[in-house]
Amino acid sequence: MAAAPVWSVDPRTGKQREQVAVEATAQEVDEDVRAAHAARGALADRTVRAAFLRTAADLLEGAKEHLVEAADAETALGPVRLTGELARTCYQLRAFADIVDEGEFLGVVINHPDATATPPIPDLRRYKVPLGVVAVYSASNFPFAFSVAGGDTASALAAGCPVVVKAHPDHPGLSELVASVVRRAAAQHDIPDGVLGLVHGFEAGVELVKHPLVSAAGFTGSVRGGRALFDAAAARPAPIPFHGELGSLNPVVITEAAAAERAEAIGTGLAGSMTLGVGQFCVKPGLVLAPAGAAGDRLLKSLTDAVSDTEAGVLLDHRMRDNFVAGVAERAGLPDVDAPVTPGAGGEHTVSAGFLTVSAQKLVAEGEYDLLLEECFGPVTVVARYEDEAEANAVLARLPGNLTATVHLSAEEEAGEGRGAEILAELTPLAGRVVVNAWPTGVAVAPAQQHGGPYPATTSTSTSVGGTAIERWLRPVAYQNAAEALLPAELRDSNPLGLPRRYNGRLER
């Protein structure tokens, strides 16, 4: 693997700004993974790692001005958006520290012997242990929250797993800065630098997922790149869990009654959701099933007015811009596809928001219109006009897995009259999060959150957002007939750590 310079690039001009690092060689990847592997013991104490996570949050907040400036220079996402994202990142770190302190994630279960059971039950004690070194592949569109110190890294460290991050090429300078802050936090708790490794380069990412000391991987990115890494993880002599977020269309169903009730509000809300962040959100609504007829026409007029007022924006890099411009042109070129507001190039470095319309009947059968059922990254959505419920259902039946699925219902339908519950049941198999009378953009960091869905949205059934994201980096182990003196403290009858547990069938908190 030949080393090559890694440049920071200004997305507003496409010009190189400065050399940040060099692409990691195979030897350097190996060194980073081995250093991470050697740092496992430093994370064994839950009190230490919870304090480490909180210190990392404090130091990131303290460097906010510098970090946001660096992030904006490399992503053009703007100080307001980036300041909010950094705050979310710090909140995640502290939330996982709380989870570590509580200890419920360990899943402690103790069964004493019961000779009267059939078959007899021996002494069994079960809890969860860290998998080992985790490889994290940063996302382009969330340079803080899904990057070096983002949710994958925070949850892995909380589980007791050291991390090696493959930096995203769209923000290499920021990646280096964030890694240095997290390592400073580690040093304050006598945790070695190796607890967080950072590598650059495509080949380094491939080497990382193949390394025998890497025990699991988390990825956020494209279907093509994620599937290649997923296949590599499965093809190893010892396959590893690969938790990938690959792509999502995020369908929206608008009932005829909802459109009749509030067409203008729905159209305006859709415009805001699909253009938020220049359409660079993984939960952007990419396909909207809207009714034909007068109510649907009112909705489209509202959408047209709102999208027309949206200013051109900068995508994260010129490759994405080129893909967006080509992608919308190919879709708009299909027969009987209209563009009430034409998406595409807004200038030499910007893109303009827009949307396409088509009869839902065109999407019912396999054919050239399948392109409209594929994610197009950027500020565009497809509005498919359906004539009746059967036509809308036929389109839904053709969709792959998604992160979200949304339905807009009338007040009566939301109250349980009509097909509201039936539509929710139809959407549930399609997505990990079903949204009612709201929009999918905005993923709350909350204990009940599910950010993941059927393939290709993700490659596992787990979530990458919320407290249960920690479960990805743990495995259960049970001890049978082990003497008290031999057991880890978490599994002793006296419960010296005060952990919540299920003890002989009774839940203890």
Which residues participate in catalysis according to the annotation? 245, 282
Query: What residues have CB less than 8 Å from 95, skipping those under 6 apart?
Result: 445, 467
Angle at 155 between CA 450 and CA 87, to 5 degrees: 80
Centroid of chain to Cα 355:
25
- The span from the CA of 262 to the CA of 71, in Å, is 39
Helix (H) or strand (E) holding 345: strand 344-345
Burial grade of 329 (CB within 10 A; 0-12, 13-18, 19 or more): middle
Measured distance CA(467)–CA(448) in Å, rounded: 8
Strand, coil or helix: 181: helix
For residues 450 and 463, is the Cβ–Cβ distance under 8 A? yes
Q: For residue 294, what are its two tokens? A: 């007068």
CA distances from 339 to 281, 307, 346, 383, 386 (A): 22, 12, 15, 10, 17
Sign of the four-CA dihedral 60, 19, 21, 193: negative
Separation of first and last alpha carbons in the chain: 52
**Dist. CA 270–CA 439, nearest whole Å:** 7
Q: What is the number of residues in the chain?
A: 509
d(C-alpha 501, C-alpha 509), whole Å: 7
6's CB contacts (< 8 A; 6+ apart) are 19, 20, 21, 22, 23, 167, 169, 172, 200, 201
Please, how many CA atoms are within 13 Å of residue 170, restricted to the half-sphere of its CB? 25
Compute the distance between CA of residue 142 and CA of residue 437 in angstroms, rounded to an integer.
26
CA distance 129 to 378: 40
Cis omega before residue 456 (within 30°)?
Answer: yes
DSSP secondary structure code for residue 446 in this structure: -
